[in-house]
Structure 1
Amino acid sequence: MITLKEVKNKKDLKAFVKFPFTLYKDCEYWTPPIISQEMNTFNKNENPVFQDAEAQLFLAYKNNAIVGRIAAITNNLEIQDQNIKKMRFGWFDFIDDLEVSKILLDKVAEIGKSKNLEYTEGPVGFSNLDKVGVMTEGFESTTPMVTWYNHAYYVKHYEAAGYEIEKSYSESRFPFENVKPEIF
């Protein structure tokens, strides 16, 4: 059985931030975030985004072990000023268990409905300038700039939940020849 717990204190927040370290511990391509920076992202006293946004963080547990996480995000400026009635979600990580991803996404949808929002979108951050999207290929290379790294199985979880691709991004790597490192 999967249970959800809302993050309400610093101990839970640290568990939320550190979950990917367990999930990706054997993945040489995952680039870990800076823990203190991630902690500050969700600190209402440190991050000015909370003047116009709200976030509820959830951890999913199975047999007393964390098996998933998600941030349910409301960008109030987007809703009020642009009349875009969407519930955002991000920091969405989970083991390869459809029940886990479903319960997390269902929680975000439930919060969105309670706020009279029309749809959910993600994974995204607090604004359109944050990381966005899901990797669908390139799992054998390091984390791209514009998105979070994820396991290949994430794609089937989004499909099972009925999510569709809204935008596609492409990121390329190419060698520079005759580059002078001292300039950069």
Structure 2
Amino acid sequence: MDHLPEPLQTILTNATYTYLRSTAHSQLTTHLSTFRTTVVDPYILTPLSHLLATTLGSSTMPDLMSALVLGGVLLVSLVILDYIRRFVVWWVMWWVRFIVRVVFWGSVVVLGVYVWNVGGEQAFKDAGRVWGFLMGFLQEGWAMIEQGGAPGGGGGAGGKGMGGSGQWW
């Protein structure tokens, strides 16, 4: 107790603390032994011991070697199924990677052939048109989301819909 702080040493050496600790220990022991004799023995241990005695004495209970063989077969089958799962996942992912690479490099080649055929200036103009179309489409979609209405806004007579002053295209 030399390693404990001074206030804690005085509490632990106090007669009241020592008395309460011994009293609590004795009362706890008494209550646990009473619980064991009134609940655990008659309702848990005795029925369990009778069940095991009748089950182990009959011939329907499998022996230990059968249970071990069954557990071993289960373990080996799970290991084999794990290897099969790994192989299938690898095979599927190989094909997915292959298809993604073919699509990517195919689009690079098609884009290169397009630029070669129409020229750089025309390719940039077409790219600008496609970019403008996509940005307009996204802006229209964003406006629909914000206002929660038809394309072009509210769609009413005062809005930007077909009946209003704005154009809908």
Normalised-by-shorter TM-score class: under 0.3
Bigger relative CO (Cα 8 Å, ≥ 6 apart): 1
Larger CA Rg, structure 1 vs 2: 2
**Higher helix proportion (structure 1 or 2):** 2
- TM-score w.r.t. the length of structure 1 is 0.17
